[in-house]
Amino acid sequence: MKKFNKNILLSVTGMSPAVVTETLYALVTEKGIIPTEIRVITTVQGKNKLLAALLGIEGGVKKTKGALAEFIEDYGEQYHFSHIHFDESCIELIKDNMGNPLPDIRTPKENQLASDQIVNLVAKLCANPENAIHVSIAGGRKTMGFFLGYALSLYGREQDTLSHVLISEEFETVPNFYYPTPKERFLNSYNGRSVNAQNAQVMLAEIPWVRLELGVPEGLRNSEISYSDSVQKAQSILETPKITFLSPIDEQKVLFGETMIKLSPRGYSLLLSLAILKKQSLSVINENLLKGYYLPIHKLLKGNNDSLNSRLTFKDPTGKDLYDYQKAIKDILSESRHDIVTKIKKAFSINRTDIPYIPKSSNSYYELLIDNDNIDLSKIEKELSILEDNQTIDK
């Protein structure tokens, strides 16, 4: 099993901070996972509860040891750890548009703010491949738990986990219970009944989740994309792919589903060439055939005054310079695909390339993984016919 630089326990909490230590206990004792760090998403009220319960801080003053230090004392030697990083900087407060922390989450607007900030935090944590994120949805508002789980589905990796924690029923109403203790410790429940924390049972319920594996887009890393945007972009990728080439050709605009993208001349030339050949029932296309379409289309867009022409000028392209000519074609097509990749990833807020809108490339062959019926050239038919009439496309 691969070891990660950080195992981060990420949780949402409300007024019950015990879910953090209960989950911590289950991860350590059941799964053998020792979190190196704890991160918690909450509100102002939740933060105060966390500081008091886990760190023993009330009103900015250290008054008790805190449940986290007690947990490390109780189980650290047995499970070989002496420190778990958690301080005030590890608490992520939900804030309003002015940057003011929210005391609670009650309105639709506050829910939207929470969803955006939760998605951004999960995305940023998942951006580091050396982190493993262990997400707990046991605490906080139900909507917060949902947003956290969905964010993990969008951006989580194979090493990440999602769970809920369950405890013995008689301990659900015990205010100072944080985890099962290795020795006897008697606590009083709200109804005055005395219970022994040593007898408590805490069970980690792992939740299966679908990894959409969209990767973390640059926009989300910079906090530029909202939760609703993320959902909409993900839905666009999951829908049946369809591309529509818009007129005029020289604007290089293509509809990918409902998303319009302006490609570079090279990216557009490659995509249009593949689309034309796909319409001719040619799926897997070699570079030699592809250039017969690519070069005339590119010339239509850029004319003769372009650096591409100089890269393809050889004294004897069929003789001793054939290798250099073929390498130049290979490089140009690869650069053209890279333009498509860059534009698609940015437009759809994704960080993966294995989607139908991005042409597949392997061993000098290219393939457009979109059905013929979902490739629309109708808006540029006249411009394509001019190309064919002028015999600029090699067939």
pLDDT in tens, 245-280: 999 999 999 999 989 999 999 999 999 999 999 999
Residues 154 and 13 in one domain: yes
Residue 291 lies in a domain: yes
pLDDT in tens, 92-103: 999 988 889 988
- 306: pLDDT confidence band, cut at 50, 70 and 90? low
**CA 299 – CA 291 distance, rounded (Å):** 12
Determine the Cα angle at 319 with ends 318 and 322, to 5°. Answer: 65
The answer to whether residue 393 scores a pLDDT higher than 60 is no
Residue 1 lies in a domain: no
Residues 213 and 250 in one domain: no
Which of 212, 233, 254 is where one domain is finished? 233
- Predicted local distance difference test score (pLDDT) of residue 282: 83
Q: Which amino acid, 283?
A: S
Instruction: Calculate mean pLDDT across residues 104-112.
Output: 87
Element housing 9 (H / E):
strand 6-12
The answer to whether residue 309 scores a pLDDT higher than 50 is yes
Residues 330 and 200 in one domain: no
Residues 229 and 243 in one domain: no
Q: 348: closest CA among 220, 210, 236?
A: 236
Residues 149 and 45 in one domain: yes
Terminal-residue alpha carbon distance, the chain: 54
- Predicted local distance difference test score (pLDDT) of residue 320: 58
Q: What percent of the chain has pLDDT over 90?
A: 56
Domain of residue 25: give its range.
6-233
The answer to whether residue 395 scores a pLDDT higher than 50 is no
Mean pLDDT across the chain, nearest whole number?
Answer: 88
The answer to whether residue 284 scores a pLDDT higher than 90 is no
The dihedral through the CA atoms of 42, 46, 50, 53 has a sign that is negative
**Considering its fold, how many domains does the chain have in total?**
2
Query: Residue 35: phi, psi to the nearest 5?
Result: -60, 135
Residue 225 lies in a domain: yes
- Predicted local distance difference test score (pLDDT) of residue 394: 52
Q: Which residue has the tokens 């069970």?
A: 203
The answer to whether residue 167 scores a pLDDT higher than 60 is yes
Residues 227 and 287 in one domain: no
- 224: pLDDT confidence band, cut at 50, 70 and 90? low
Residues 90 and 38 in one domain: yes
The answer to whether residue 308 scores a pLDDT higher than 80 is no
Residues 286 and 334 in one domain: yes
**Which of the residue ranges 33-42, 55-64, 310-319 would you say has the lowest mean pLDDT?**
310-319
Residue 395 lies in a domain: no
- Predicted local distance difference test score (pLDDT) of residue 130: 93
Beta-strand runs (E) in 221-337: 243-245, 253-256, 259-262, 284-286
**Which of the residue ranges 158-172, 200-214, 225-239, 285-299 would you say has the lowest mean pLDDT?**
225-239
**Which of the residue ranges 81-95, 158-172, 269-283, 296-310 would you say has the lowest mean pLDDT?**
296-310
List helix spans (H) across 348-391: 381-389
**CA 152 – CA 119 distance, rounded (Å):** 8
Residues 104 and 44 in one domain: yes
Instruction: Calculate mean pLDDT across residues 194-202.
Output: 95
Residue 394 lies in a domain: no
Query: 313 vs 359, which has greater pLDDT?
Result: 359
The answer to whether residue 223 scores a pLDDT higher than 70 is no
Residue 220 lies in a domain: yes
Residues 40 and 176 in one domain: yes
**Which of the residue ranges 134-148, 198-212, 380-394 would you say has the lowest mean pLDDT?**
380-394
The answer to whether residue 335 scores a pLDDT higher than 70 is yes
The answer to whether residue 143 scores a pLDDT higher than 80 is yes
Instruction: Calculate mean pLDDT across residues 276-304.
Output: 86
- Predicted local distance difference test score (pLDDT) of residue 379: 95
The answer to whether residue 56 scores a pLDDT higher than 90 is yes
Which of 180, 215, 233 is where one domain is finished? 233
Residues 357 and 302 in one domain: yes
- Predicted local distance difference test score (pLDDT) of residue 270: 95
**Distance of CA 76 to CAs 70, 73, 80, 82, Å?**
10, 6, 5, 5
Residues 83 and 125 in one domain: yes
Which of 233, 260, 288 is where one domain is finished? 233
- Predicted local distance difference test score (pLDDT) of residue 236: 75
- Predicted local distance difference test score (pLDDT) of residue 81: 96
101 secondary structure, DSSP code:
B
